[in-house]
A and B are shown apart, each in its own frame.
Chain A
Amino acid sequence: MENQVAQAARVQEIIQKWNKRRDLIIEMLHDVQSEFNYLPLPALDQISHEVGVPHSTLYGLATFYNAFSLTPRGKHQICVCMGTPCHALGAPRIVEALERHLKVKCGGTTEDLKYTLEISGCVGTCGLAPIVIVDGELHGFVTPVNAPKVLDKYSD
């Protein structure tokens, strides 16, 4: 219960920060997503109510844009870059190695909610290809063999 109150208060702050503006709901969703690691349903209710947009619109945005998720993501976000240079240098094999290591399919979250494994569009640091990004931190020159070791740092 307390958690819900705190969550509602935080969402209210976010809505206020963007002045309840209809054209800024994507910014609000960004902030909610980075605050809670996903878009909780009550938060969407709140935005819908406060800004005056139908739920269907928010659902549309949440499912259209890759940055948003309606289910909780793991504590640590693992993104394997799938830009062309990364692909050409073996990124798909890194995804498979991580899938095996974490026992989760790409796009999924581990049962303990620790890791979410995803692929991302090109992050534009092709000089380091192939790249794995964990919680926004870039790791370059990853190989299928050392990929699991990249996660050691994020084992908490």
Chain B
Amino acid sequence: MKIDRRSFLQYSGAVSAASSLPAILMSPGALGASGDTLTIAYNVSLPNWDPTVGLSSVNPGLQSIWKSVFDQYIDQHPDLTFKAGVLTKWGWNSDKTKVHMTVRDGATWQDGQPITGEDIVWNLKRAGHPDTGNPVGGFIWASLGNLSANGNEVTGDVNQYTPDIFKWMSFLTGYILPPHYHDKVGAEGFEKNPLGSGPYKVKEFVRGSFVRLEAYDDYWGGKPAFKNVIFKFVTDVSSRIAEIESGSSDITLAVPFEEYDRLSQKSGLTGVTTPVSDIAMIFFNDVGPMEDPNVRKAAVHAVDKEAIVKRLLRGYGVPLSTLQAPEYTAYDSSIVVDHNPELAKELLAKSGYSTDNPVKFTIQTTRGYLPKDYEVIQAVVGMWRKVGIEAEIEVYEVAKHYELRAQDTLAPAAFYNWGNSIGDPGTSTGHAMFGPSPHSTWDTDDLDGMIGPLWGEKDEDKRIAGWKKVDRYIAENAYVLPLYQQVQPVLYKSDLAFTSHGANYVLPFTTRPKG
């Protein structure tokens, strides 16, 4: 083969390109991000960007991402107490027929436009409009009407008094979108190029893979510590463990407690386990054997919640006697339902049941939807068997649970996880136990008679006292079996200062490099 100058240059170019391929492939950037970038291996994949409409808007698992991009009307401290967000003041008039809100001075959208009172009005009206698709619009946001703005002051009428309306302003769908931008680009345009007023701007979003955020330096809450944040959507738990263990990600969450214990001891990693606003509980339905108070009370007294938390959950859980966690407004530590298997046997004996002649019913549960859900129910059924209750476990998908609950056709007992990050008794005991609520299973006049007046109670002290009374009544009559408060394990690199949040958020804005 003849080699001339031209062919020599061609060959050398090809050889050079070929030899540089390994260098390209093995570039340090190929293995992960670092420096001014915070990478979070997140357990949920973000489906869309509008946090106020559709199925995803009420998915608690997505709120961390939205809270990084969008502001909520009102914010929450990690201990779930409330603090100023875009609104610096809020409240009712004396007879609670009107509301007033004050918009923060100097707060801007991420395109530099100021956030105005009109913007808040637009958002509240949109949230309450039936055609918008806000899943809680009808019973929360539509309770306000005749909204108007005068500069930074917003006022409105109370269509229907909703005691927790301002708490919802820091809860699901309580986000603000920029009206001028949304009107300009429309819903589809907004999905493609979302714009908020939160600490981070969306730079790149690959559905099902990751979202890359960039710090919004003019954020009213201060300049974020990390210039870039990447949420990787790592929905497989093994892959999340590998991400944090290999150093490819800086933070991850929702790992099995066994793995948490192992990895948090590993050099370079640390972790935190925070009780969060999710309560594992067993619904009782007022059908069949559950109409017998002795059976219900026996079912409650037979369960050793301490043992379940200690042995099955490796201590990561807080046993509960009511549907209120200690951080909730109406938590009452004096309400205690003790583990007393002997009492359970006596109660069952009064109704003619024993271990030789057990009462029989079905208990429904998910399997793998929540940490150790099936195992917990297996343990409960084992405890019940010892006192004279023979429960058959039926496994179903959580979608089926929603369907059956909406139709009020759940089995006599059904395991569920109730979330309530605003800690209001109305959103825990209220919606879970009030008969007319589409989300309750217990439906008796005595309890509805107690709960009904509390929905409209305008005296906050009386309202909270009322809910505590309801919780005590429910505990005494065993209308539900609260089990434990869930604990969220978060693993992160030791050189990070991470702030855990009681609402189960992993927020980049409150995470910073140590030192």
A, B in one complex: no
Q: B residues near A, CB below 8 A?
A: none
Q: A residues near B, CB below 8 A?
A: none
